[in-house]
Structures are given as structure tokens and as C-alpha cells.
């Protein structure tokens, strides 16, 4: 088979994995080596779906022994199958990298023969890439559920980031749609990787560091293949960040590729807006000091799709608003709809010079479209309406302009 066809097949079957970020690792080049890793991450292109291309995202093989219901590569599907040889893959990476097409590699795989065998093949290719081809830049490897911890460890020494995809946000979903996978086989390696990461950080203190997935681990959840609520998803996310110290949780709006009685119909379009809302909420958890239980609860288990989650929250907590722009602490500024991290920092800097009025905010390019209803400037309110009237919802919801932004893009890192 021609390399061109292989690449097409193995990229096509990898494209539903959303993670593409190349951030979080910083490594300088060494003499005779190819490449370095850049801390903030670099996007190299944007595909026609608007998603960033940073890493060459391919499967090592799409030959699979499993039959997960939601997956294109499941064994019962009649599709073209291919596998890379380690050299083909290495050469492709190096040549793409030298032309500045990519930041590095995201290697995943279907399960060929058994999990250990698959993992060994991937490790062999990575070892070659690192040692023979002297590739020094970013590698993200997806660990195969069910593989031996010894192999997980070995892979972790070669990669910058490792992910173990949970895919389905609940055990019941997993049992229904991926019956051959053991839920334990996902969380166990996640815990293992967390331990090894912490250990390698401690080692740094007294001997030469052995770098183990320096950019941390991540996972992916599929949105909309199962009936799980936003609350359920966010609670899981929060646990993953807290207990497993994941760097990122990625979300992937379910794109139907197979028909099955337990799956949404093949004609459903992917819930992109919902995915976007969940990304926004994820952002609020990580950087804005929100907890999942504040954003949603049993009485309100799903986000209003027409509001961004911060607005949704603010409308249910009007008693905390308006906040005075010249006095509010950072934590509270960050809770104002429409004010992001950069703006909050700007406001705090500028108000040290003198009190800020509404016009000053405009000049500083604070976007006031939403914020104006939630703030006062030196005691004056510029919202022009009574916040308690039902009008606010109308003004804030974007039923009219449905701008869908895939969350990962402006928010990578």
C-alpha cells in the first residue's frame, strides 16, 4: 500500500480524538537533534472544521479486536485497514517537522492482537523516533486500556504527554457501548501515571531527573453518545482534575459513524454547541475558581444552551451583582460575565492609577456587551435596565447569533 493511502486511512480513523495541544513541555534542542518543545504550544494550521492542527494525529494501526459500538474502527465495520511500519512513521514525522507542518506526534492505536502487543509496537516506534531519528520535539501517546503497567511506564519515559481516554462519562455507558472494556482498565493506569509523575518530580530534588510525561496526562469524554447530564460530566471532570491531577480533559461532540440501537440515530448532528458550553465550563473550573456544584445542581443539571455558563450562573445569582469595578477583588471580577482573565488583570492594573469610569473601560477595550449589566463604575450603573426584570435573559442569550467556537481552540494549554 502506498504511504499516501496509509496516511489517509490512519489519519481518518484518528480524527475523532480531539486533543491536539502541544503545550506544557519545554525542551531545548541538543546538538545533532531535531527540534525542541515550546512551552505555550503552537498551532500549525486549522482544518476546514476550524480545529487547530498542532500534532500529526494518527493511529499506529486501525486493525482492532474490539467492537466498541460508537467507534469507526470497531471490528465489525467493513473499512480499509492499515498499519505503519516504525520507519514510515518516523520518516513522516521528521520530514513534516523539518517543513514546519507540525509540532510533533500524537500517536494512538486500535488494539491489534492484544493491548500489550499493541503498546509494544507503539513503544518500538517511539524509541526509534527518539533515539535513531533523534526527534526532540513533542510526543503525545495514547495509552492502550488493559496494557501492562510496565509498558505504560516505558511509554511515559518517551512521551511528553500521555492520555488514557475515558470516552464515556459513566460506567453504565461504558458497559453498554464498550462491553469488552473493563472500566478499571482506564482508571488504574491513570492513577499509576499520576504516581509516576509525582515521583519523577521528587527525584529531581536529589538526582538527575528521569523525565516522565513532563506535560502531564489528559483524557477525552464523548458528549452526547450517552444520556449523561452536564452535571455528571462536570463532576467527573472536577474529580479528574483534583484526584488525578490531569492537565486537560477534552470533550468530543459525538459524531455518529455507526448505527446501533443503543446509540443516537446516525442522522443526529454532533452537539457542537453543548460541547462548546462544556469547554467553557471546564475553563471556569480550571481558571476562574468555580466549582462544578456551583455551576450546576440536581435541580439544574444541564446548562442553558443559549447562555454561556458564566451568564447562566450569574443570572441565578443576581444577589451578588452588580460589583463595583474599582473595588471588587480579582475573584469577583472574574465572575462577571464577559470579563475574562486578561481584562480582569488589566482593570486591576489600571485602577491603581486612578478610578475607572465607564468610558475608561471602553477605551481599554473591555467588552461591555454583557458585563455592563453586572457592574458599577464608581457607584454608577450603566446597564440601563432593571437587572431583576426578565429582560436580562433576552439580552444575554444568543438564540439569534449562534456562534459556535470549538472550545479547545482559543483555550488550548
Partner 1 sequence: MIYVTDGSFEGILAAVFEAFRNREDPEEITLGGDFQLSIAAGIREIPTDTGKSDRVWRGVQNRISEKSLEDLYLAYLSEHPRVGLYIYRYIKLGLKLGHKVEEYLQHPDVQAIYDLSRRVSKEVHLFLGILRFKKLKNGVFYACYEPDNNITQLITEHFASRLSDQAWIIHDRKRDVFALHNGEEVVFTTGLSGIVHEDCEEEYEELWRRYFTTIAIESRKNLKLQRSFMPRRYWKHLTEKQL
Helix (H, G, I), strand (E, B) or coil at 258: coil
Binding site partner of 363, from ligand SF4, partner 1, none, Cβ cut-off 5-8 A by kind: partner 1
β 52-53/45-46 pair status? antiparallel
Q: What element of type H or E holds 162? A: strand 161-163
Contact call for residue 26 and partner 1 (CB under 8 A): no
Contact call for residue 368 and partner 1 (CB under 8 A): no
* Nearer CB in complex with partner 1: 12/182: 12
Q: Is the bond leading into 139 cis (omega within 30 degrees of zero)?
A: no
Contact call for residue 98 and partner 1 (CB under 8 A): yes
Q: Which stretch binds partner 1 (CB under 8 A): 3-11, 171-179, 304-312, 372-380?
A: 3-11
* Nearer CB in complex with partner 1: 296/406: 406
Contact call for residue 354 and partner 1 (CB under 8 A): yes
CA–CA dist 315, 396 (Å, integer): 9
* Nearer CB in complex with ligand SF4: 66/283: 66
Binding site partner of 110, from ligand SF4, partner 1, none, Cβ cut-off 5-8 A by kind: ligand SF4
Residues in contact with partner 1, shown as a per-residue x/- string from 6 to 25 under the rule CB under 8 A: -xx--xx-xxx---------
Min dist. Cβ of residue 108 to ligand SF4 (A) = 8
Min dist. Cβ of residue 140 to partner 1 (A) = 15
Helix (H, G, I), strand (E, B) or coil at 78: coil
CA–CA dist 396, 311 (Å, integer): 7
Binding site partner of 44, from ligand SF4, partner 1, none, Cβ cut-off 5-8 A by kind: partner 1
* Nearer CB in complex with partner 1: 190/356: 356
Torsion of CA 390, 377, 314, 402, to 10 degrees: 70
Contact call for residue 47 and partner 1 (CB under 8 A): yes
Min dist. Cβ of residue 10 to ligand SF4 (A) = 12
Contact call for residue 203 and partner 1 (CB under 8 A): no
Contacts of residue 336, Cβ cutoff 8 Å, sequence gap at least 6: 314, 321, 323, 328, 371, 374, 375
Q: Among residues 107, 129, 140, which one has the least CA distance to residue 33?
A: 129
Binding site partner of 100, from ligand SF4, partner 1, none, Cβ cut-off 5-8 A by kind: partner 1
* Nearer CB in complex with partner 1: 47/318: 47
Contact call for residue 44 and partner 1 (CB under 8 A): yes
Helix (H, G, I), strand (E, B) or coil at 36: coil
Contact call for residue 411 and partner 1 (CB under 8 A): no
Binding site partner of 47, from partner 1, ligand SF4, none, Cβ cut-off 5-8 A by kind: partner 1
Min dist. Cβ of residue 337 to partner 1 (A) = 21
Q: How far apart are the first and last CA of the chain?
A: 37
CA angle 381, 385, 388 (to 5 degrees): 100
Answer whether 407's CB lies under 8 Å from 279's CB.
yes
Min dist. Cβ of residue 64 to ligand SF4 (A) = 3
Min dist. Cβ of residue 221 to partner 1 (A) = 17
* Sheet of 380-381, strand order: 323-324, 375-377, 380-381
Contact call for residue 29 and partner 1 (CB under 8 A): yes
* Nearer CB in complex with ligand SF4: 41/173: 173
Cell numbers given for 128: 526509534
CA–CA dist 154, 336 (Å, integer): 45
Cell numbers given for 357: 469610569
Phi and psi torsions of 367, nearest 5° = -80, 115
Q: In the complex, which residues of this chain contact ligand SF4 (CB under 6 A)?
A: 64, 66, 68, 71, 73-74, 110-111
Contact call for residue 194 and partner 1 (CB under 8 A): no
CA–CA dist 57, 93 (Å, integer): 10
Q: Around 203, how many Cα atoms within 13 Å sit in the side-chain half-sphere? A: 11
Binding site partner of 66, from partner 1, ligand SF4, none, Cβ cut-off 5-8 A by kind: ligand SF4
Q: Can you tell me which residue has the cell 458550553?
A: 277
Which residues contribute to the site for partner 1 (CB under 8 A)?
3-4, 7-8, 11-12, 14-16, 28-29, 32-36, 38, 40, 42-54, 56-57, 92, 95-96, 98-101, 103, 137, 253, 255, 269-270, 272, 346, 349-350, 352-354, 356, 360, 363-365, 404-406, 409
Amino acid at each position: 500500500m502506498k504511504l499516501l493511502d496509509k496516511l489517509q486511512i490512519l489519519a481518518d480513523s484518528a480524527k475523532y480524538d480531539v486533543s491536539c495541544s502541544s503545550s506544557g513541555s519545554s525542551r531545548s534542542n541538543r546538538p545533532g537533534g531535531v527540534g525542541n518543545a515550546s512551552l505555550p504550544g503552537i498551532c500549525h494550521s486549522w482544518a476546514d472544521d476550524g480545529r487547530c492542527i498542532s500534532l500529526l494525529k494518527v493511529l499506529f494501526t486501525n486493525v482492532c479486536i474490539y467492537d466498541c459500538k460508537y467507534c469507526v474502527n470497531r471490528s465489525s465495520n467493513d473499512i480499509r485497514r492499515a498499519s505503519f511500519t516504525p520507519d514510515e512513521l518516523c520518516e513522516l514525522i521528521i520530514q513534516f517537522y523539518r517543513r514546519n507542518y507540525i509540532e510533533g506526534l500524537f500517536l494512538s492505536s486500535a488494539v491489534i492482537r492484544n493491548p500489550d502487543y499493541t503498546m509494544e509496537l507503539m513503544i518500538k516506534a517511539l524509541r526509534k523516533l527518539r533515539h535513531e531519528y533523534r526527534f526532540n520535539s513533542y510526543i503525545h501517546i495514547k495509552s492502550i486500556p488493559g496494557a501492562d503497567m510496565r509498558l505504560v511506564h516505558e511509554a511515559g519515559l518517551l512521551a511528553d504527554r500521555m492520555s488514557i481516554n475515558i470516552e464515556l462519562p459513566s460506567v453504565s455507558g461504558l458497559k453498554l457501548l464498550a462491553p469488552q472494556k473493563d472500566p478499571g482498565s482506564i482508571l488504574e493506569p491513570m492513577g499509576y501515571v499520576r504516581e509516576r509523575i509525582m515521583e519523577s518530580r521528587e527525584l529531581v530534588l536529589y538526582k538527575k531527573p528521569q523525565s516522565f510525561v513532563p506535560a502531564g496526562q489528559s483524557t477525552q469524554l464523548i458528549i452526547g453518545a450517552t444520556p449523561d447530564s452536564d452535571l455528571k460530566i462536570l463532576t467527573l471532570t472536577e474529580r479528574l482534575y483534583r484526584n488525578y491531577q490531569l492537565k486537560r480533559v477534552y470533550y468530543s461532540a459525538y459524531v455518529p459513524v455507526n448505527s446501533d440501537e443503543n446509540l443516537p440515530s446516525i442522522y443526529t448532528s454532533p452537539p457542537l454547541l453543548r460541547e462548546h458550553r462544556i469547554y467553557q465550563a471546564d475553563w471556569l473550573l480550571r481558571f476562574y475558581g468555580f466549582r462544578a456544584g456551583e455551576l450546576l445542581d440536581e435541580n439544574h443539571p444541564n446548562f442553558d444552551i443559549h447562555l454561556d455558563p458564566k451568564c447562566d450562573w450569574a443570572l441565578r445569582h443576581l444577589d451578588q451583582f452588580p460589583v463595583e469595578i474599582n473595588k471588587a477583588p480579582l475573584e469577583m471580577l472574574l465572575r462577571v460575565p464577559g470579563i475574562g482573565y486578561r481584562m480582569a488583570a488589566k482593570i486591576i492594573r489600571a485602577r491603581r492609577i486612578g478610578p475607572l469610569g465607564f468610558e475608561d473601560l471602553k477605551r481599554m477595550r473591555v467588552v461591555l456587551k454583557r458585563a455592563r449589566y453586572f457592574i458599577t463604575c464608581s457607584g454608577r450603573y450603566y446597564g440601563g435596565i432593571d437587572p431583576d426584570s426578565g429582560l436580562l435573559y433576552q439580552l444575554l442569550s444568543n438564540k439569534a447569533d449562534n456562534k459556535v467556537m470549538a472550545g479547545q481552540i482559543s483555550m488550548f494549554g
